Amino acid sequence: MHVRRQIINYLSQLWFALAIATLAAAPGVRVAVGDAPNRPNIIVVMADDMGFSDLGCYGGEIRTPTIDRLAEEGLRFSQFYNCALCGPSRASLMTGCYPWRVGQLRGQSIFGNLTRNCVTLMQLLKANGYDTCAVGRLDMVTSDDWHDPAQVVGAANRFLGSASNSPGNYYREVKGTDFPSYPQGTPWFKDGKRWDRPDGPYSTDLISDFVAEFIEESAGSDKPFFIYVSHYAPHWPLQAEEKDIAPYLRLYQGQDSKALMEARLQRQIAAGLMPQGTTLHDSMVNAQPPHGGYLKTERMAIHAAMVESIDRSLAQCMAALEKAGQHDNTLILVLSDNGASHQMAFDNGNVPDGVRPGSADSFLNQGPEVAAVNNTPLRNYKLSDYEGGTASPLVAWWPRGLKDKRRITDRLTHVADIMPTCLELAGVTHPNQFEGREVIPLDGKSFVGTLRAEDEAAPPRILAWPQAVRDGDWKLVWQNPAKLELFNIGRDRNESTNLAAENPIRVERMKQLHTKIFLQR
């Protein structure tokens, strides 16, 4: 066994030396030889439409023991931002660029291809010796046509999921005739081919099994891996297993939404995620349930069950890491693509008689009141440039690499920062060219220093898509173009006090800052 391991190590070193020689000829692509044996595995877990306070470690009452343990053993970010909407956030995650620079412009399709002025994280890691895997929503995993499974092969060694507009249904593939607004339906792909998704299994469970299989197979490889676990949950339609919903029906029965929000907020303040004195925004406290309160408790319970399914999926992933001996040097990042959704698409307030709410034959949305609880204590929802649209949890866990664990960082961080962080850890330089085409520079900034408790500094950032800008504690928003709003996020996280009139010089300076950053495209 010892001799066999020596031979494997020798062959691995030989392979790596040959890879270095090959990559040296590729402009802008570099592997750091000294760091190569210690390059971590990386798993990015992205929820869809999960609220800022849904996780237990961010104040929620939803059971998320696995993610809570990762937070306890790792790092929580209190000021991590996405782009307020799925397509732009995924484009920014995968390219390290602001979304409007890579084709995600307001007024255009958020499901179109990236412009070919960029390269994705998965493409670069695969080109530099990582085994790559993508599951769930395959949006933006390649700068080529990600709707074509044959093209996704260029970015992912293994993949399973769909490249379409929404989850559609958590128990079966949706055909185009089911929802006229989605004429292409929700076709699933697997490893380069169209896949006939079976009816019955829950989508989160399909994702979990595929990820566990990929991790267990890694035990026989000397290459590090990157996995993009892009969950559908808890995006509408609200659907989950009856056994998972039942405990939450009991928990939420007769509960007052404001009381739930207050309890979440107090846990956030006690943990240090929110500053002392933070209050609930009136607009969120007064948010209304859909259809006069129709199935309000059921909506809350199903949403909670869907969030818990993500945690259960990660538990299966962790078990696979242990089994494969990959536990110690794996970085896991858990986040959401935007805030909780108040949208009411396809929900007509009617679950047919005899149909269980949350089953494959029902179609429910959260609605404003439930989403307000999910986003506690932040203002507004998905699609909004206020904190409720753009702020997300971010949990980082990495036994070998994290320093000063069990802490919360206030570093201003953006979803575009994930790509440069992963590239730095992998020893890969972002290229000027890739596969014969010019590649624009990154907008994101690595937060490896924050992971190692060495550097909390962060640059000014444009948030959302792109109608808000952060500079230190200050945030300028023009959700309403006729009314600029300036907030001090350090003291007023729920954006209740507009300070623009008292700070005209700061407002003008931040407008100029926004223009300068935005025009770099």
Contact criterion met (CB below 8 Å) for 261 and 376: yes
In DSSP terms, which residues pair with 41 in a beta bridge? 330
Contact criterion met (CB below 8 Å) for 362 and 299: no
| Per-residue pLDDT at 177 | 65
Tokens of 283: 């607009």
- Model confidence over 274-319: pLDDT tens digits? 999 999 999 999 999 999 999 999 999 999 999 999 999 999 999 9
Architecture in CATH of 38-459: 3-Layer(aba) Sandwich (3.40)
Question: 166 φ, ψ to 5°?
Answer: -165, 175
Which amino acid type is present at position 74?
G
Name the stretches of the chain with pLDDT < 70.
1-37, 165-166, 176-184, 520-521
What DSSP string runs through 222-270? SS-EEEEEE--TTSSS----HHHHHHHHHHHTT--HHHHHHHHHHHHHH
Parallel, antiparallel, or unpaired for β 225-230 and 131-137? parallel
pTM: 0.92
Checking 22-26 for CB contacts under 8 A at 24+ apart, the result is: 23/127, 23/128, 26/127, 26/431
Architecture in CATH of 467-521: 2-Layer Sandwich (3.30)
C-alpha distances (whole Å) from 514 to each of 90, 220, 243, 484, 505 are 22, 49, 49, 13, 14
| Per-residue pLDDT at 463 | 83
| Per-residue pLDDT at 22 | 40
| Per-residue pLDDT at 392 | 97
**Considering only CA atoms, which of 152, 127, 150 is closest in space to residue 140?**
152
In DSSP terms, which residues pair with 477 in a beta bridge? 468, 485
| Per-residue pLDDT at 479 | 78
